[in-house]
Amino acid sequence: MNKVLKKFVRDKHPEEAKKYKSEEVTDTSQDPAQDAALFNAVRRDAENAITAFRGAAAANDLKLLATTAHGVKPGLSNISEHEAAKMAAKLEDAGKRGDTDYVTSNTEDFIAILTQIINKLAPKEAADEVATEDTEFLTAQLQIIKTACENYDDQAAFVALDALTVKAWKPESHALIEKIRNLIYSDSDFDGVVELVDALEAC
């Protein structure tokens, strides 16, 4: 992956690439074990960061938010997620400056990006595990999400949605989770989520 990125990004945009030179890691493309270890570490950091961002948002703790953004930034750069790393840097700076408006407007976007990266970095063998997905856990989280939406509590709903990212799901279950996330995050359609979960229960 690093070789391909170097070909299409660094070699064609040398000035832009200089910005990240100090953050590049040794090319591990010849060692899949090292690649896997790096990806797993970044994935775990991203999962922990999402939890920390939620807590920081609930407590209006800009210091924790800045610290969390700073902590997740190097890993994102090391796997060439440079745009995400830039977002982390901006959130870190905003947190340090006490820019509540910027933090409020951009934290959820960054969490959504981290969620996409987590899904992308999920171990390939996870595809073999979805035949035995944890339906009991899924049902329990959906109930939490439904209750949260009935109370228009988006924070509680997002905590439950984030909890679902740590397990492997069948394509249809994954699509359902993302649909619910979009209904809440993009549309603020709490009633739509309640109706969706009710419809699933009726099946």
pLDDT tens-digit map of 27-52: 434 455 567 778 888 888 888 898 88
Q: Which of 121, 142, 158 is the last residue of a domain?
A: 121
Residues 151 and 114 in one domain: no
Question: What is the DSSP secondary-structure string of 93-122?
Answer: HHHHHT-HHHHHHHHHHHHHHHHHHHHHHS
Class of residue 153 by CB neighbours under 10 A (exposed 0-12, middle 13-18, buried 19+): middle
Last residue of a domain, one of 59, 90, 121: 121
Helices (DSSP H) in 60-189: which residue ranges? 62-78, 82-97, 100-121, 135-150, 154-164, 171-185
47 plus 100 within the same structural domain = yes
* pLDDT > 70: percent of the chain: 78
Q: Quote the pLDDT of residue 47.
A: 87
Sign, CA dihedral 117-92-109-10, equals negative
Q: Which of 86, 105, 121 is the last residue of a domain?
A: 121
Whether 39 and 113 map to the same domain: the answer is yes
Domain limits at 135?
124-203
Same domain, 92 and 145: no
Q: Beta-carbon neighbour count of residue 58 at 10 Å?
A: 11
- Ramachandran angles phi, psi of 53, nearest 5°: -60, -40
Q: Check whether residue 101 and residue 142 sit in a common domain.
A: no
Q: Closest Cα to residue 62, out of 86, 97, 16, 20? A: 97
92 and 156 assigned to the same domain: no
Whether residue 16 lies inside any domain: the answer is: no
- How does pLDDT run across 66-102, given as a tens digit for each residue? 999 999 999 999 999 999 999 999 999 999 999 999 9
Indicate the pTM of the whole model: 0.53
Q: What is the pLDDT of residue 121?
A: 81
Return the minimum-mean-pLDDT range out of 42-46, 140-144, 150-154.
Answer: 42-46
Residue 153: pLDDT band (50, 70, 90) is very high
The whole-number pLDDT of residue 33 equals: 53
Smallest CA-to-CA distance from 91 within 56, 136, 115, 48 is with 56
- 143 assigned to some structural domain: yes
Q: Do 61 and 136 fall into the same domain?
A: no
pLDDT average, residue stretch 104-123: 87
Same domain? 45 vs 96: yes
Assess whether 188 and 131 both reside in one domain.
yes
Domains of the chain: total: 2
Query: CA 90 to CA 76: how far, in whole Å?
Result: 14
What's the pLDDT at 200? Answer: 85
